[in-house]
Amino acid sequence: MNSKLSTNQYKTICSQLGTVKLKLLYKASLHGFTGAAFHQLCDNHSPTVSVGYNVSGHVFGGYTRQPFSQTGQYVNDDQAFLFTFTERKLQKYPVVNPQHAVKMFNNSGPYFGEALVLLNGSTPVVYSKPAGGHYNFNAAEMHGNDLNLIECEVYQVEEVTLFEKPWRDIIWETQKRNELMESIRTYKPTVRSVTQARVLMIGPVGAGKSSFFNSINSVFRGHVTSQAMSGSSTTSLTTQFRTYTLKDGREGKPLPIIMCDTMGLEESKGAGLDIDDISSILRGHIPDRYMFNPAAPLQAEGGSFQRSPGLKDKIHCVVYVIDACKISIMPQMLEEKLVAIRKKVNLMGVPQLVVLTKVDEACPHVQEDLRNVYKSIYVKKLMQKIGDCLGVPLSCIVPVKNYTEELELDTSCDILLLKALVQIFRFADNFFDDVSNVLSNVQMRAQAVEEGGREGSPMQSSLDRLADF
């Protein structure tokens, strides 16, 4: 059956109802302009959109969540509404009396509270009573006072859980996996004094920070492994600041990345990672295996404080690791901590990325096939929600599945993890580009001074900026 709705009309109706599609159940010109044909094809289906088309070209109808039947009774529906199209726009008329939203009349088509009836009896006409108290509308605006139908269609509203096409292009092949691994092996920071990008992982307790490192480590080891402590706990299993170097194989060369793990964030004060420790970590003042004290951040006069860190000791990219299953129930205080950390990192000019873990547990379609991750409407909504929370665009969010229960590697899982790592390198490059620009400015100003220019505040400003790195 072909729908009589135009593409714009179809999309406009769907946009009023969420992420849905319309399935045509009944078409009067094909099945007959009779109440019997309507009920045979439409009873017990819900929600529905009923559309009438008259001789003068008006397109109008109604929506209800209640399934049609032949009981002769009114049914309650506080979400019901009538509508009409005016110059491609949809004009809605919400139900006024929800208890009389729809009547289940056995010898008629869609029957909206005696305000609008499509197929009155078994004839192709409209019954319209605009001021009946159940819906209020302007009859001339809705259907031009033309009660002669040329078509009546009824659609079932179906929720859409998967996009027809993935909204991000990704190749799920072994060759692509190998290409990603090779690009990571050959990565080099653009600043010569740095050989490895240093990445800080931040996230709530149980989000999967350590598991994210273990999973990437597994890909390059060629088997599932667990170097960083991970598991399930109400408090952080990571109590030290740990720096991990990835190796290309069991005895292979170190990869050009150092992943730094921290204590998990907790919502209560005095628990989990202290926000004040973030600045010290970013600037490279905190050494490997430093034991966190949630009640007191590291002080400059402390014995563990590294006073003169180099650029290689500083953080080049921050990765927020977020559990997809807990976005909708994230405590407000924890959300506020994440926002506060992001603002602090912003001020220090460090690029930031969000890694969304456990997407397979959040969406059954993804659990069934990981390759549905960029087809899942639910996963995209979760990404948009955490993006709104942290103030980052979708381009800064990547979904992954960590190895938590598997004994063998999976190509699709590897590709998601590797794509996330490649994106981390790209963001680290932004940091190195910023450093290179500052170095270039310092060199040019120093040259200008040597050639007879006077030393002044612009050069001092550049030196101060360089010290921030």
pLDDT digits (tens, 9 = 90+) for 287-303: 888 776 655 556 655 55
Helices (H) and strands (E) in the chain, counts: 13, 18
pLDDT of residue 367: 96
What letter would DSSP give residue 380? H
Residue 436: pLDDT above 90? no
204-228: average pLDDT: 91
Residue 54 identity (one-letter amino acid): N
- β-pairing, 48-54 with 290-291? unpaired
Judge contact between 104 and 68, C-beta under 8 A: yes
- Residues 160-194: pLDDT tens digits? 899 889 999 999 999 999 999 999 999 999 998 99
CA end-to-end distance (rounded Å), the chain: 65
pLDDT of residue 419: 98
Residue 445 identity (one-letter amino acid): R
Enter the tokens of residue 184: 């990571």
Does the N-terminal peptide bond of residue 309 adopt cis geometry, omega within 30 degrees of 0? no
Q: What are phi and psi of 129, to 5 degrees?
A: -135, 85
pLDDT of residue 380: 96
Enter the tokens of residue 464: 């101060």
HSE of 103, CA atoms in CB hemisphere, 13 A: 17
435-457: average pLDDT: 65
More confident residue, 230 or 219: 219
Specify the 3-state DSSP secondary structure of 82.
Answer: strand
pLDDT of residue 469: 59
Give the number of other CB atoms < 10 A from CB of residue 195.
Answer: 12
pLDDT of residue 126: 75
Enter the tokens of residue 154: 């009824």
pLDDT of residue 134: 87
Residues whose CB falls within 8 Å of the CB of residue 233, separated by 6 or more in sequence, listed in order: 205, 206
- β-pairing, 48-54 with 59-64? antiparallel
Domain-wise residue ranges, the chain: 7-159, 174-436
More confident residue, 384 or 107: 384
133: left (phi over 0), alpha (psi -120 to 50) or beta: left
Residue 456: pLDDT above 50? no
13: left (phi over 0), alpha (psi -120 to 50) or beta: alpha
pLDDT of residue 463: 46
- Residues 53-105: pLDDT tens digits? 999 999 999 999 999 999 999 999 999 999 999 876 899 999 999 999 999 98
Residue 149: pLDDT above 70? yes
- Residues 308-329: pLDDT tens digits? 889 999 999 999 999 999 998 9
Class for the domain spanning 174-436? alpha beta
